[in-house]
Chain A
Amino acid sequence: MAEFVRVASVDAIADPGKSVFEVDDQVVVVFHVDGQFSCLDDVCTHDDGPLGEGRLEGCTIACPRHGAKFDIRTGAALTMPATRATVCHEVKVEDGAVWVRLRS
């Protein structure tokens, strides 16, 4: 199983806000909304758009390429043109930092 990797201090990501990190050879987006952190693959399952550059509205992120929306807490695809969830990774907050463990 993958290990948890420290990506940032909790103060480094605004609330609401998001930031993109490289974790174990993958690029992910960490979201900070209403005091909660979550993490998704930085890729829209429709056409590989960069979710990390999309518009964050509440708990949804919209892909900048064609507007598909995903739930930042689960990765579920909420609107077309995306039909598949993007991968949602494990997140924990510990010792004032945000840690991510990749799901395969």
Chain B
Amino acid sequence: MGVTAVTDTAKFNASALDELIAKRQEPAWLVDLRRAAFETFCEKAMPSRKEEEWMRTDIRTFHLDKFDLPAELTEIPADLPSGLLTEGVDLGGRLVSYNSRTVSSELSEELKAQGVIFGSFSEVLASHPEIVRKHFAHAVDPHFDKFSAMHAAFFTTGQVLYVPRGVVVKKPLHALSLLGAGGVDLGHTLVILDEGAEATMLNETASIDESAPGLHCGAIELFVHPRARLRYINLQNWGHGVWHFAHQKGIVERDAHIQWTIGALGSKLSKVNQHVALAGVGAESEVNGVMFTEGRQHLSYHTLQHHEAPNCRSNFLYKTALQDRSRTVWRGMIKVDKDAQKTDGYQRNDNLLLTEHCRADSIPGLEIEADDVRCTHGATIGRVDEEQIFYAQCRGFTRKEAIRAIVIGFFQQVFDRIPVESVREALGKAIAVRVRDYE
């Protein structure tokens, strides 16, 4: 007996797809898209470590046949958690899903009157099909790999936010995706800000049981049309038994701005592709990342700042702290097309190792075809400075308090870039409780 390649996908099969399509009664274009994605899913093998993107991420112990397509909900657990990001926040709307099924959907009357659309994917597909069709799968390529294809073929729920031209949504909108034990989430997030619109969306995930197995195979597509401004916060806080595969892409048009904050605290193994395309002249992006890993977690993030148009600015900062035997892999790329003159691109990844056996792989990259650009990248990896701990202990801190203070100080630079106070506080607290005492 030996390790076999992960090819057994018994439950994600043609008859399951047929059954899903029959139940959902979707437009022909979406059915065709699902079927084409399914073909790709069947053709492509599970990624292996021979591929560049997977060289440092081993998924041989991931068995897709242990998971099933999300079933209809017969019972919603009582006391579903409300998430970490919304304490004290006056929200404009809220969506909650459990095991890929929407359980609640709310939007304030004021925002509805302004033409804002915020609801589950199925709701918005039914009420505004033209908006969905214009954008769905135009950012994330369903045929990129086996996971993106699986998602596009079998997704069942998700969130859609559409903000009309010129509308400024002052109150944040919140979407929470929850997983029960053995649950599967294939949610698709679609955010569209029309010209000159502004909005803040908080998107978070969590598991009911911290250690139960689960699977998330999702996609996030963010469309920021000319002169629009989007603040998008995405907190991944799955339990430590969850396999997390995601493709996430933002397209920023002329003079538009995206501020994208990701928090990554959970999951057993994450493999996330996070891309931002600066597609219009004068587009700007700021990406902030806060990651904390422990146990035997393995988080792998592949990021891309793609400068397609001239005079665009991208600023990228990921900070990661690791403890126990956890692993992170960050592979970042700034890609500048030939026409993207006067690009200003910045990319930095800092890693703080709290224990001897954790490991961070940090690999920045530049691919530049224009000749009048400014691109900077950097990566740091280091242990906690024992002198700093000693200094703090001399002033009455315990060792654990000292380490915790140092870790929070390490993240402060990226916290300062997060404009939503509840998010800063939530991330700070979530990290502080995870820091342990080490000699």
Contacts and interface: CB of A to CB of B under 8 A. Distances in A.
Contact of B49 (A12, A21, A26, A50): A50
B58 A43 contact: yes
A48 B61 CA distance: 15
Contact of A27 (B55, B60, B325): B60
Interface of A: 7-8, 12, 19-22, 25-27, 43, 47-50, 104
A27 B58 contact: yes
Given A7-B1, A27-B58, 15 more contacts: A12-B1, A19-B2, A20-B2, A21-B1, A21-B3, A27-B60, A43-B58, A47-B56, A48-B49, A48-B55, A48-B56, A48-B58, A49-B49, A50-B49, A104-B325
Contacts of B61: 22, 25-27
B60 A22 contact: yes
28 contacts: A7-B1, A8-B1, A12-B1, A19-B2, A20-B2, A20-B3, A21-B1, A21-B2, A21-B3, A22-B3, A22-B60, A22-B61, A25-B61, A26-B61, A27-B3, A27-B58, A27-B60, A27-B61, A43-B58, A47-B55, A47-B56, A48-B49, A48-B55, A48-B56, A48-B58, A49-B49, A50-B49, A104-B325
Nearest to B357: A84
Nearest to A8: B1
A27 B55 CA distance: 15
Interface of B: 1-3, 49, 55-56, 58, 60-61, 325
B177 to A, nearest CB: 24
Contacts of A21: 1-3
Nearest to B54: A48
Contacts of B58: 27, 43, 48
Contacts of A12: 1
Nearest to B324: A104
Nearest to B49: A50
A104 B295 CA distance: 11
Nearest to A49: B49
Contacts of A19: 2
Among A19, A21, A48, A49, chain B packs the most CB atoms within 10 A around the CB of: A48
Contacts of A25: 61
Contacts of B1: 7-8, 12, 21
A26 B61 CA distance: 7
B393 to A, nearest CB: 29
Contacts of A49: 49
Contacts of A50: 49
A82 to B, nearest CB: 13
Nearest to A50: B49
A21 B60 CA distance: 10
Nearest to A25: B61
Query: Quick one: which of B1, B60, B325 has the most chain A CB within 10 A?
Result: B1
8 nearest A-B pairs in the assembled complex, by CB-CB distance:
A48-B56, A20-B3, A22-B3, A25-B61, A20-B2, A27-B60, A19-B2, A27-B3
A83 B208 CA distance: 40
A8 B2 CA distance: 9
A19 B2 CA distance: 7
A12 B2 CA distance: 10
A57 B58 CA distance: 25
A102 to B, nearest CB: 11
Most chain A CB neighbours (cut-off 10 Å) among B2, B58, B60? B2
Contacts of B325: 104
A85 B385 CA distance: 25
B151 to A, nearest CB: 24
Contacts of B49: 48-50
Contacts of A27: 3, 58, 60-61
B5 to A, nearest CB: 11
